[in-house]
């Protein structure tokens, strides 16, 4: 294999921390493994704050390429702008801060400056790419889409349709509070729900969700972060994945459900519809617990609807992108630099 150019991969510290699971961390880990296998000399630069990010970006040799996680780029816009005048800078846009309700203006402005100065931007969904162009942040010829992939997974048939699963960090943009209100409206239905995800992103919000969930007794389980076989079992036991997000650039949990042939009930927001392009989903408006409760009620009471969604989900699982496809797209972007 021919040795390719050096790539300094500047990314958040702790992407391997099992308690800090996120779609961005999973994506970065897959790139780390896949790009190295394709001959790129990766020089990993994990950073924890703006100062360390600026130092890592400034230290990149003049004959290299800097590949920057979008979160990190937003921490160090001055360094990204300075680096772009001497070396190629490629930014991975996992999410656009302005799409998150309540986003801080300074963060949005910093992220925008960094993205505008990049040589190329890799968006993790068509929706994100479209928003970058629509907002005038990036020209269309400087953005490439490399959707997250999914690993091959086995779906066990015959799961209880009353078993609901919600996977994602316990954080406001994921909308667990909306789901709990909807479930409260359906207290007479025989459901059970498992909320899987880290409590570290927004501890105050997570504490409130935990307190409300406890009022339902053992009908709601909150096991925290699950990995490997434990996460597989959670998906296999579920009859429906619920994704009540207020903002989502793609939706890794939704994509994982698709890869397993698991039906999804999700907010019609951001890149979520794109992640379930194979079918097998119901959509509701974001931030609307009444619409969510109505859709859940239909799921519980309409066998024909369940059968149709389950069949569509099984067919959709046959056309799921894989991580090799993601890495191939990023590899081609780096080759063009």
Confidence at residue 155, expressed as pLDDT on a 0 to 100 scale: 60
Angle at which helices 289-301 and 303-316 cross, to 10°: 100
pLDDT per position as a tens digit, 49-66: 999 999 999 999 888 999
Confidence at residue 319, expressed as pLDDT on a 0 to 100 scale: 85
Confidence at residue 2, expressed as pLDDT on a 0 to 100 scale: 56
CA angle, corner 12, sides to 11 and 16, nearest 5?
100
Angle at which helices 176-185 and 289-301 cross, to 10°: 60
Among 235, 211, 253, 221, residue whose Cα is nearest residue 21: 253
Confidence at residue 277, expressed as pLDDT on a 0 to 100 scale: 82
Residue 191: partners with Cβ closer than 8 Å, 6 or more residues away: 162, 163, 164, 183, 219, 296, 300
Q: Measured between alpha carbons, how far is 231 from 153 in angstroms, rounded to an integer? A: 11
Please tell me the pTM assigned to this model: 0.90
Among 159, 163, 166, 160, residue whose Cα is nearest residue 242: 166
The 3-state DSSP class for residue 47 equals strand
Q: Measured between alpha carbons, how far is 119 from 89 in angstroms, rounded to an integer? A: 5
pLDDT per position as a tens digit, 78-136: 999 999 999 999 999 998 887 777 667 788 899 999 999 999 999 999 999 999 999 99
φ, ψ for residue 85, nearest 5 deg: -85, -10
Please, what are the domains in the chain? 6-149+321-336 (3.40.50.2000), 163-319 (3.40.50.2000)
Confidence at residue 3, expressed as pLDDT on a 0 to 100 scale: 58
Among 221, 229, 212, residue whose Cα is nearest residue 289: 212
Confidence at residue 154, expressed as pLDDT on a 0 to 100 scale: 62
Residue 151: partners with Cβ closer than 8 Å, 6 or more residues away: 259, 322, 323
Can you give 217-250 as a three-state secondary structure string? HHHEEEEECCCHHHHHHHHHHCCEEEECCCCCCC
Contact 48, 170 (CB under 8 A): no
Going through the chain in order, the beta strands assigned E by DSSP cover 6-12, 41-47, 65-69, 89-93, 120-123, 143-145, 163-167, 192-196, 220-224, 240-243, 264-267, 281-284
pLDDT per position as a tens digit, 122-170: 999 999 999 999 999 999 999 999 999 887 666 655 579 999 999 999 9
Give, in order, the Cα–Cα distances in Å from 263 to each of 123, 127, 158, 164.
26, 22, 13, 10
Q: Measured between alpha carbons, how far is 108 from 100 in angstroms, rounded to an integer? A: 10
Confidence at residue 99, expressed as pLDDT on a 0 to 100 scale: 76
List the beta bridge partners of residue 186.
none
pLDDT per position as a tens digit, 198-237: 999 999 999 999 999 999 999 999 999 998 899 999 999 9
Please give the full DSSP string across 167-199, using - where no structure is assigned.
ES-SSGGGTHHHHHHHHHHTTTS--EEEEES-S
pLDDT per position as a tens digit, 280-330: 999 999 999 999 999 999 999 999 999 999 999 999 888 888 899 999 999
Higher local confidence (pLDDT), 224 or 15: 224
Give the H or E element holding residue 255.
Answer: helix 252-260
Residue 39: partners with Cβ closer than 8 Å, 6 or more residues away: 1, 2, 3, 4
Q: Are strands 264-267 and 120-123 parallel, antiparallel or unpaired?
A: unpaired
């Amino acid at each position: 294999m021919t040795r390719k150019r050096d790539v300094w991969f500047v990314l958040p510290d702790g992407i391997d921390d099992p308690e800090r699971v996120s779609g961005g961390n999973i994506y970065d880990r897959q790139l780390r493994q896949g790009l190295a296998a394709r001959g790129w000399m990766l020089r990993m630069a994990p950073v924890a704050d703006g100062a360390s990010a600026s130092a890592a970006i400034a230290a990149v040799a003049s004959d290299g390429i800097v590949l920057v996680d979008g979160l990190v780029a937003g921490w160090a816009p001055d360094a990204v702008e300075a680096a772009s005048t001497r070396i190629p800078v490629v930014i991975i846009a996992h999410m656009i801060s302005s799409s998150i309700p309540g986003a801080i203006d300074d963060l949005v402005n910093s992220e925008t400056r960094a993205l505008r100065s990049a040589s190329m931007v890799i968006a993790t969904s068509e929706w994100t790419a479209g928003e970058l162009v629509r907002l005038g942040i990036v020209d269309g010829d400087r953005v490439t889409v490399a959707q997250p992939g999914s690993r091959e997974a086995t779906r066990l048939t015959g799961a209880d349709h009353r078993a609901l699963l919600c996977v994602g960090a316990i954080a406001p943009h994921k909308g667990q509070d909306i789901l709990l209100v909807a479930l409260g409206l359906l207290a007479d239905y025989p459901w059970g729900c498992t909320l899987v995800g880290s409590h570290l992103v927004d501890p105050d919000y997570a504490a409130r969700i935990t307190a409300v969930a406890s009022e339902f007794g053992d009908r709601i389980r909150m096991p925290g972060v699950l990995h490997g076989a434990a996460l597989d079992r959670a998906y296999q036991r579920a009859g429906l994945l619920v994704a009540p997000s207020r903002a989502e650039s793609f939706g890794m949990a939704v994509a994982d459900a698709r890869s397993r042939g698991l039906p999804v009930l999700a907010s019609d927001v951001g890149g979520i519809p794109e992640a379930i392009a194979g079918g097998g989903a119901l959509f509701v408006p974001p931030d609307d617990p009444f619409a969510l409760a109505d859709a859940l009620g239909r799921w519980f009471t309409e066998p024909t609807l369940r059968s149709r969604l389950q069949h569509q989900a099984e067919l959709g699982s046959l056309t799921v992108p894989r991580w090799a496809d993601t890495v191939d797209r990023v590899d081609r972007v780096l080759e063009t630099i």
